[in-house]
Each structure stands twice: as structure tokens, then as C-alpha cells.
Amino acid sequence: MARSVTNQRKTINTIAAWAVGLLIFFPILWTILTSFKTEGQAIADPPVWFFFDWTLENYAVVQERSDYMRYLWNSIIIAGGSTVLGVIIAIPAAWSMAFVPSKRTKDILLWMLSTKMLPAVGVLYPIYLLFIKLGLLDSRFGLVIVLMLINLPIIVWMLYTYFREIPGEILEAARMDGATLKEEILYVLTPMAVPGIASTLLLNVILAWNEAFWTLNLTAANAAPLTAFIASYSSPEGLFYAKLSAASVMAIAPILILGWFSQKQLVRGLTFGAVK
Amino acid sequence: MATQQSRSAARLMMAPAVILLLGWMLVPLTMTLYFSFKTYLPLRGGDLGWAGFENYTRFVSSSSFWPAVQTTLVIVVGVLIITVCLGILLAILLDQPMWGQGIVRILVIAPFFVMPTVSALVWKNMFMDPTNGLLAHLWRFFGAEPVQWLSQASMPSLIMIVSWQWLPFATLILLTAIQSLDSEQLEAAEMDGAPVIKRFWYIILPHLGRAITIVILIQTIFLLAIFAEIFVTTGGAFGTRTLSYLIFQRVLESQNVGLGSAGGVYAIILANIVAAFLMRIVGKNLDA
């Protein structure tokens, strides 16, 4: 039975929720607005809100002066590469845990999760040293590997919780009909698992895109992704608000859009299936 | 059900993930442990021999250790209190019937998708800058002297920035938990005349218990490790040096690897204590 709600109460709820929502969103909104202003308008007091001469100049300047496209490309390769690689490695593992569980499955899952809790700063120097020795410092390949390893536990977990929801009887039926293990995975399991795999990809691209410990510490000029690109605006360029805003918008826009599609998966992925 | 053949196949399929994670955990961990017992200064001759437990005692007895522990605790606890309390209120608000619920949800969640370096920099320059920042404009509008946020009120500013990033996470998870609450129970309580406060305290809050615990544990793990926010805003100055930032400085800035590694071992132990609690909850859920 649904509760009947008076329109008056609904109106109050709406006003309160929108006010809070806009307040929380305000820094992002302000950044977007500022990115279309001139530098003078960006620091104007009192601030200008919507009525200014909208300009795209900042975006052009940022691209021209700091080669935005290169950082974007690095971000895409690193976030995309690490996620795809992680999913390829995780699918068989999650499959076997979900459909051929043994006594140790739970322990292995929890152990994997525990590797995720390892504080990055505790292993910073060893990784740094290994990267120098292997010639991986400031390379995209090195970051792809590190971010893949960081997110692998989450990927395995997410896939595991999705796979577990697929009824085992269907797989058994396929097996009865003489499907080999390979056929079973390729033709029976995969089509049913596509939504889960897609959500896993989405969330992990977001996590890898925003990762800001390893990407800042293991890159210099060549492999630096957008997190490092923005950090380079720290000062003194950061005082040019309009350009800083344009750079920020370009760094967060792709993920903001992807993120809005992944709200539901976010909860499941980040709580390791403990809250659904 | 599973045949012998599928069992060995299963083990084989698990192998790559398990071996990779095992290597990722063991190799750097062993190296950190090894370095922590060494006098190791890459810029001043490299490996200068065994140090016993000296790095461990020096790390703890250095004058920056206790302030760093305090800073870490203040940030973690401060952000947890703000995000969990506001998160509960927001989740309840967002659960109410309203117009445009989907859009409000998107607005509230958005900060979570902003990369840490961007949110730190936008807050630092565009909001907290003492001359041109928006907050300075606001303060002047009311005739007050603008605050030097990141130097005079460095900790509250940092807590505020980090809370802004994590509030969406807490809200989203608590909202998901609230939506699974049986609304008939609430209606029954309402008809019996239970006031709002009592309904919240005796029905909603107990229902949220587990979700709140999970939010606290997961956020603690991430908050213990915050890096970019400090790196971009204060660089560890003005009393914002956390334990992880201190270790980072020892290892990469002053290149005292032995000392930093001993700090790293402390950090790993600390994180494991928190993680053990989280594992318990998640593990219980696996059986269900």
C-alpha cells in the first residue's frame, strides 16, 4: 500500500531536496560557469552569474598551452587498459568461484579484498624502485599494470556477485547437452553476464580515471594522465580561474557523464556486495 | 555437483588472478619489511647496513610523529562524523516523495566523480583563496575580513573538502539501505502515533545500522590514505601532515627509505586492523 502524500508536503520536500542538491552541486556548477568567462569576469566582485559574454577561449588556450589531448589520451589508455585487462583476468576467476565453489572460495575472496586494503604509501618505495629497475617509470604500461592490480579485487568481487545471480541450472542444462567448458562460458554464460560485466567495466574505469596516488607518483612528462595535468595547475596558473575551470571541466566531464549511468552499480561495487 | 574435471579447471582459471595478487602483495611487502630494517639513503650512498629496530623507534620518537597521528585521527573522525550524519539526513530527505527526484540524486552524487586533484584545486583557488575566492567575496559582502582558509583554518578547510567528496558516497549507500526498509512498518508506527523522532530512532536508525558500519569502515580505509587533497592544497604544511603524508615525505622527498618503510609497516598494520572488521561484515554477508 502506497502512502498518500499531500501535495503540500511533496512541495516542501521538493524545495528542500533541490536546495540541498544544488548546494552540493554548486562547486561543480560554478566551475562550469567560470570556464566560459573571461579572466576578468572570473574574479569579479560581486560575482557574475549567468549574464556575461560566454566564451570558448579558455578551452582553446588550455589545449594549446598544455597539450590537453595528450593527457586525455594517457587517461583513456591507462583507465581503459587497466580495466579491460583486469576484467579479462577476473572473468575466469569469478566464474569458477561462482559456479564451482569450494571450501576455500570464501577465504580467497576475502583475502583478495584484503590486498585492496594495503595502504599504497606503505609500498610506495618498493614499487618506485621496481619501476626504475624495470624501466617502467613514467610509462603508460607500468601504470596500466599497477592500476589493474589495485582494482582487480573489486573487479573479481563485482563479477562474482553478478555471476552468482545467474541460475546454475542453466549451466547444468548446457553441460547435459554436451557443451564443453569453453562453449559453456562463451555461449551460455557470457551473454547472460554482459550487463554485469558492463557495469564492472564502467565503475572501474571511473575508479582508475580518478586514481591520484600512483598516477601522481609514478609519472612525469610522458605518461601523465589528467590527474597530474590538473595538479600541474596548482600554482601559479591556478590563479587564472577561467583557465583552471576549463581544464577542470575537461578533466571531469567524461567521467561525470559515465558516472551518472553507474549510480546503482556504484553501491554494489564499492561495498563488495554487502549493500545492494 | 561439480565434477573432478571442472574442479581442476576452476583452480586453473583462478590461478592468474590469485598469482598476480599474491605477487602484488608479497613482493613490495617483503621489500618494505627489508628496507625498514636497513639504513637506506639512496642519495647518500644507498644501503648503509642493517639498522635493527632503529627505524621503528626513530619513526615513533620523531617530533612529527604524534602530530601526524593526531592530524590523521582528526581528519578521519571529522570527515566520518560529517558524512555519516549529513548522509543519514540526506538519504531520508531523498527518500521522500518529490518532483525531480532523479535529478536531485544526480546533483548530490556528482562530487564523487570529480577527481581528487580537481576538487582540491577548485576548492583551494576558486573558493578558499583569500583575495579572489568566492568565500572571500561572501565574507566581504557581509563586511567581514576574509579568512586565509588553508593557512589559518587549514584542518577545517581540508575536512570540508574531503567531506564534500565523500558525502555522496555515504548518502548513496544509506539511501540504498533506506529504500529496502519495509514502509508498512513505518506506517504502522505512524498510525500508532509515534512521533517523527521516535520513528527515526527506533525503526530507521536500527535498520541502517549495518549500512552505517560499512560506510564507516570503507571510508576509514580510504581516508587513512588520502593523498592528492593534501598534496595539492597545503603540501603537508599548516598542521595538515597525516601519517601517510609523513611517510610519503620521508620516502620520496627526504629519501630516507629505511625510516619511511618503518612508517609504512606501521601504516599497513593500522589499515589491517580496520580491514579485519570490514572483512567480518562482508564475510558474514557471503554466507547469507
Does the structure show a pLDDT above 80 at B65? yes
To the nearest whole angstrom, how far is the Cα of B76 from the nearest Cα of chain A?
15
To the nearest whole angstrom, how far is the Cα of B25 from the nearest Cα of chain A?
6
Please tell me the distance from the alpha carbon of residue B75 to that of residue B161, in angstroms, as a whole number. Answer: 11
To the nearest whole angstrom, how far is the Cα of A171 from the nearest Cα of chain B?
11
To the nearest whole angstrom, how far is the Cα of A197 from the nearest Cα of chain B?
17
To the nearest whole angstrom, how far is the Cα of B247 from the nearest Cα of chain A?
7
Nearest to A110 among B109, B110, B283 (CB): B283
**R_g over Cα of chain B:** 24
pTM of the model: 0.85
Please tell me the distance from the alpha carbon of residue B58 to that of residue B250, in angstroms, as a whole number. Answer: 12
Interface test with A, best of B3, B34, B94, B115 (most A CBs within 10 A): B115
Report chain B residues whose CB lies below 8 A from the CB of A260.
Answer: 106, 109-110, 113
Q: What is the pLDDT of residue A191?
A: 82
Q: What share of chain B is helix, strand, coil (3-state, %, to 5)?
A: 80, 5, 20
Enter the C-alpha cell of residue B269.
598494520
Enter the C-alpha cell of residue A217.
607518483
Task: Count the residues in chain A.
Answer: 276
Concatenated DSSP letters for B224-260? HT--HHHHHHTTT-TT---HHHHHHIIIIIS--HHHH
pLDDT band at residue B22 under the 50/70/90 scheme: very high
To the nearest whole angstrom, how far is the Cα of A222 from the nearest Cα of chain B?
19
Contact state of B109 with A263 under an 8 Å Cβ cutoff? yes
Q: State the 10-residue block means of pLDDT for chain A, 276 residues long.
A: 68 90 92 86 75 82 82 92 94 87 84 83 87 88 92 88 82 81 78 83 88 87 85 73 87 85 73 68
Does the structure show a pLDDT above 80 at B3? no
Does the structure show a pLDDT above 90 at B216? no
CATH of the domain at A113: 1.10.3720.10
> At which residue does the C-alpha cell 609519472 appear?
A219
> At which residue does the C-alpha cell 549529513 appear?
B86
| Cis ω before A191 (30° cut-off from 0) | no
- The answer to whether residue A23 is domain-embedded is no
Interface test with A, best of B122, B124, B217, B242 (most A CBs within 10 A): B122
Does the structure show a pLDDT above 50 at B41? yes
- The answer to whether residue A11 is domain-embedded is no
Contact state of A112 with B21 under an 8 Å Cβ cutoff? yes
Report chain B residues whose CB lies below 8 A from the CB of A123.
Answer: 28-29, 31-32, 264
Judged by DSSP in three states, A259 sits in helix
**Range list of H helices, A7-56:** 7-34, 39-42
Please tell me the distance from the alpha carbon of residue B216 to that of residue B199, in angstroms, as a whole number. Answer: 23
Contact state of A252 with B265 under an 8 Å Cβ cutoff? no
Report chain B residues whose CB lies below 8 A from the CB of A176.
Answer: none
Expressed as residue numbers, the domain containing A258 is 63-270
CA distances from A78 to A74, A122, A234, B256 (A): 6, 23, 23, 30
Mean pLDDT, chain B, rounded, equals 85
**Three-state secondary structure along A200-263?**
HHHHHHHHHHHCCCHHHHCCCCCCCCHHHHHHCCCCCHHHCHHHHHHHHHHHHHHHHHHHHHCH
Q: Which residue of B has its CA nearest to A22?
A: B107
| Mean pLDDT value across residues B61-80 | 89
Give me the interface pTM, i.e. the ipTM.
0.84
Contact state of B260 with A43 under an 8 Å Cβ cutoff? no
Q: What is the pLDDT of residue B158?
A: 92
To the nearest whole angstrom, how far is the Cα of A245 from the nearest Cα of chain B?
8
B148-180: per-residue pLDDT in tens? 888 888 899 999 999 999 999 899 889 888 888
Interface test with B, best of A11, A124, A257 (most B CBs within 10 A): A124
Nearest to B227 among A5, A45, A213 (CB): A213
Nearest to B115 among A89, A226, A270 (CB): A226
- The answer to whether residue A13 is domain-embedded is no
- The answer to whether residue A38 is domain-embedded is no
Give the amino acid at A134. Answer: L
Structural domain count, chain A? 1
Q: Give residues 158 to 187 of A whose Cβ lies within 8 Å of B.
A: 168, 172, 181
Residue B123 or residue A116, greater confidence: B123
Please tell me the distance from the alpha carbon of residue B257 to that of residue B263, in angstroms, as a whole number. Answer: 10
Please tell me the distance from the alpha carbon of residue B78 to that of residue B161, in angstroms, as a whole number. Answer: 11
To the nearest whole angstrom, how far is the Cα of B238 from the nearest Cα of chain A?
17
A:B CB pairs within 8 Å: 312
- The answer to whether residue A194 is domain-embedded is yes
Nearest to A149 among B24, B252, B260 (CB): B24
Report chain A residues whose CB lies below 8 A from the CB of B20.
Answer: 89, 149, 152
CA-based torsion, B154, B156, B160, B166: positive or negative: positive
Contact state of B264 with A275 under an 8 Å Cβ cutoff? no
Q: Is A256 on the interface with B (CB under 8 A)?
A: yes
> At which residue does the C-alpha cell 610509462 appear?
A139
Contact state of A123 with B264 under an 8 Å Cβ cutoff? yes
- The answer to whether residue A18 is domain-embedded is no
Q: Is A89 on the interface with B (CB under 8 A)?
A: yes
Which residues, in sequence order, are CB contacts of A84 under 8 Å at separation 6+? A201
Q: Is A230 on the interface with B (CB under 8 A)?
A: yes
Q: What percent of chain B has pLDDT over 70?
A: 98
- The answer to whether residue A102 is domain-embedded is yes
Helix (H) or strand (E) segment spanning residue B114: none
- The answer to whether residue A1 is domain-embedded is no
B77-110: per-residue pLDDT in tens? 999 999 999 999 999 999 888 888 888 988 998 8
| Mean pLDDT value across residues B10-25 | 89
Contact state of A248 with B232 under an 8 Å Cβ cutoff? no
